């Protein structure tokens, strides 16, 4: 018999809580995404992600004409402190968030 309900979540899985349409920002406009990422040590780690829209329609920044997506600003709240993260380690993660949002909008 098949199990019903949501599949089990594993550490590292992504849950998007909510996102806002592009909001005005000094560098153009930005999409604000709140999401949870399951942690090995805590139930959830909540993060905020800001993706800047520079390329007409997608929420990614191409600084200096670069051809890869970059998160411009990421805020990470581990429950005790808020950390601002550099962009590089989060590029692949940004892609997965971006794809989830695209799928959600198209659904």
Q: Is residue 80 part of a domain?
A: yes
Domain count, the chain: 1
Confidence bin at 90 (pLDDT 50/70/90): very low
What pLDDT shows up at residue 62? Answer: 35
Q: Is residue 9 part of a domain?
A: no
The better pLDDT of the pair 30, 58 is held by: 30
Using the predicted structure, report yes or no on whether residue 33 has a pLDDT greater than 50. yes
What pLDDT shows up at residue 35? Answer: 52
Using the predicted structure, report yes or no on whether residue 27 has a pLDDT greater than 50. no
Q: Is residue 39 part of a domain?
A: yes
**What percent of the chain lies above the pLDDT cut of 70?**
0
Q: Is residue 45 part of a domain?
A: yes
Beta-strand (E) ranges in 1-107?
14-19, 23-25, 28-38, 44-53, 73-77, 82-85
Q: Is residue 21 part of a domain?
A: yes
Q: Is residue 22 part of a domain?
A: yes
Using the predicted structure, report yes or no on whether residue 59 has a pLDDT greater than 50. no
Query: What range defines the domain where residue 45 resides?
Result: 14-106
């Amino acid at each position: 018999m098949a199990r019903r309900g949501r599949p089990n979540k594993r550490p590292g899985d992504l849950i998007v809580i909510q996102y806002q349409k592009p909001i005005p920002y000094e560098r153009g406009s930005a999409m604000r995404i709140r999401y949870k990422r399951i942690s090995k040590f805590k139930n959830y780690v909540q993060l905020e992600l800001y993706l800047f829209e520079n390329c007409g329609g997608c929420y990614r920044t191409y600084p200096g004409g670069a051809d890869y997506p970059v998160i411009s600003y990421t805020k990470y709240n581990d429950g005790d402190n808020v950390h601002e993260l550099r962009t590089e380690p989060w590029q692949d993660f940004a892609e997965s968030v971006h794809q989830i949002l695209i799928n959600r909008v198209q659904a």
